[in-house]
Amino acid sequence: METILQHLQDILALPALLINKCDFFPDFVKTSLIACITFIPWLYFLYYLIELLERFILKRIGYFLKLCRTIGALFGVGISIVPECGYQVLASTFYSRKMISKGTLLAFLIACSDEALPLLFMDMSKASAIIPLVIIKSVAGVIVAVIMDLIFVFNTKIENTNPINLDVNIPGCCNHRLMSVDQPPFWWLHPLSHTFNVFIFALFSMMFFEFCITNGYGSAEAMAQAMMIDSPIQVVAGAIFGLIPNSVTSIFLAIAYVKGLISFPTLLAGMITTTGLGLYALGKYNKNNTDNSFITMILFITAIVVGLMTFYGIGWFGGFVH
């Protein structure tokens, strides 16, 4: 067993050994490549498992919709822990077709983790933020969902669309169609392309921060102070940044937190407004722009309130200051 572990360590150390020999690479590129390349096997394994889960769920779309309607908020925050945005796309599509309530949709969106969670493992000292991040987002998602459904209980008309005939041939991550999971050899190709895309986004994010640190600020601490890590302004900025409807948003936030450039409350606020392609799908399929703006506003207000409560150590949320 010890021999196997030693061989595994040697294999994992090989990329760093080869990259360090490439003298034509600047130091910030070497550091970024080593951090991201050694993370590829774990990313692929994770996305392979997620692919199997997605195949299982999409082949039973009727049960998915039934859970959304019966235990909407709880199911929404539970499934949204999975680090990808396909379920938020489905929820946005269901909502636009009046198949789920506003509260259920918001539970999906608020609890969305997108691509951030696995990237926090790039620094094990930062990985401990995952549990409080998930807990706070889940609790906030359920609270907001209950409040919204109570407010709009008389204005919400749920259509009894037959899920068997439901067309879910809608775009997910990596520009694939969600129902294409039925097409072999998609079960291993999509996790591979997804891993590659996340690797590229993480690499460029890491290189950007490493370049700024080494060539502009001299240290991560100096750059963090320049980014107002100790100010509530950074929390608000994180919430605004999270509204960008793209998976790159969550990756950028995760890498910034791993490098120590943003605080936990800022990461939290940004991750509450981050929905991957969820808001994009909502804007595309729900033609009521006023309603879309209202949902976005609720997301933003939730992010600000929860982020600032955590920042100032107020109430239950304050106990999770990291």
Domain that holds residue 190: 25-318
Chain length of the chain: 322
Does 20 reside within a domain? Answer: no
DSSP helix/strand/coil, 45: helix
Does 19 reside within a domain? Answer: no
Does 8 reside within a domain? Answer: no
Task: Give the span between the Cα atoms of 259 and 261, in whole angstroms.
Answer: 6
Does 13 reside within a domain? Answer: no
Does 10 reside within a domain? Answer: no
Nearest to 103, CA basis, from 169, 155, 170: 155
Does 5 reside within a domain? Answer: no
For residue 9, is pLDDT > 70?
A: no
Does 49 reside within a domain? Answer: yes
DSSP 164: G
Does 17 reside within a domain? Answer: no
Task: Render pLDDT for 177-215 as a digit per residue (tens, 0 to 9).
Answer: 555 555 555 556 778 888 898 999 999 999 999 999 988
Task: Give the span between the Cα atoms of 270 and 253, in whole angstroms.
Answer: 7
Number of compact structural domains in the chain: 1
| Percent of the chain clearing pLDDT 90 (strictly above) | 39
Residue 56 has phi, psi (to 5 degrees) of -60, -45
pLDDT of residue 209: 94
Residue of 126 and 58 predicted with greater confidence? 126
